[in-house]
Chains A and B, each alone.
Chain A
Amino acid sequence: MSDWGKGVNNDIGWGQGANNDIGWGSIYDKSYAGETLLGGGGGFDSDYQAVLDKGIANGNTAPTSTNAGNQLMIDLKASGAFAKADALGVLASGGGSDSGFALIDWKRLINLTAVNSPAFNNIQGFTGNGTSSYIDLVYNPSTDAVNWGINDHSFMAFNSNPTADGSLISCFDSNNAFCEIQTDNPSTRFIVFDNSQIGRIPSTPSGEQDGMLEIKRTSSTTFKFYKDGTEISIGGSPVETDSTPNAGFRLFARSNNSSYGNDQSPFFYIGQALTDAERLDLLTAVNTYLASI
């Protein structure tokens, strides 16, 4: 499929009916046969439409089927998580889509940056190379926070390929104020950090570090770790400070250029702390989406 909006008979945007068989218009033909959809209006959730419009503006290639993405947006909004997000990315962007479309932040409608060629698969997301590649999430909690609060935040990423000593998602400044979810060597533990609170989870069975991983902080002395929506007890003696990291969040590496891993991620969220119900609804929405693309 060529880029959308570039085909014969499609000179005023996608979704123009039966003569548009190249790009996004064909999707509309299949999903909304008989409707007149000039300029891309109608049919989709307005926030998902905005993601598609951002893709058009970028010159990206959309997924072959946009129904799954639209449903995910509807479900994320219904969960309450979308409203609480500061940054949210669907890196597994669906069959037929390109990496540029996958790098659109659904909440902020900005482009994330793929640094040093992390591998891309539109069904699985991005994968770090273990030496130098990462995704710059273009989000610094010290300067970009809208819903994030130092004592009211969650950050999470889905990990499909945990690797020893690999940083899945982190924000790490030069004064050692940091937030991080890392799979520890020898791949049988997690280490989780949040504003210099350090926790070690010593007994996670090998091979079970995958899934949706989240840190949630709700007070100066309380932070919790969740795997697939279930809280996992954090061991060790957390050390608490109240400094918000002044650095950008990354996937697959720390912002001090260490802990490069081969983790693979199709989804991330950064924002206000999620309730148990919001967390589970978000998890269901993402899992449903991943199973449908």
Chain B
Amino acid sequence: MEVIKATEKQYSNLNGFKNSSHKLEFLKDFDDNWIVGKEVLTDDKFLEIRNELEQLEVIPYNPKITEI
């Protein structure tokens, strides 16, 4: 499984983008990267920022594990 990774600058520019009831929100992976699923690349709700999203690096998904 792959996700897309944002630099700090890309994160600052894109995080929190909203289009009506739809929102973009990065989260930290195991390696402390800002990531989000690739589904946002094809979501028309994020069409306004698609060009910027397409600049993000595609990396393997490495989730942060939280055990209870």
Contacts and interface: CB of A to CB of B under 8 A. Distances in A.
Interface of A: 58-59, 99-100, 103, 111-119, 129-133, 136, 176, 178, 193, 198, 254, 256-260
B25 A116 contact: yes
Most buried by A among B21, B36, B43: B21
A133 B42 CA distance: 14
B45 A117 contact: yes
B24 A116 contact: yes
Interface in B19-68: 20-28, 35-37, 39-40, 43, 45-46, 61, 63-66, 68
Contacts of A100: 20-21
27 contacts: A99-B21, A100-B21, A103-B21, A112-B21, A113-B22, A114-B21, A114-B45, A116-B25, A116-B36, A116-B40, A117-B22, A117-B37, A117-B43, A117-B46, A118-B39, A129-B37, A130-B1, A130-B37, A131-B35, A131-B37, A131-B61, A132-B26, A132-B37, A133-B37, A254-B66, A259-B66, A260-B63
Contacts, number: 74
Given A113-B23, A114-B22, A119 B68 contact: no
A254 B68 CA distance: 12
A82 to B, nearest CB: 22
Nearest to A131: B37
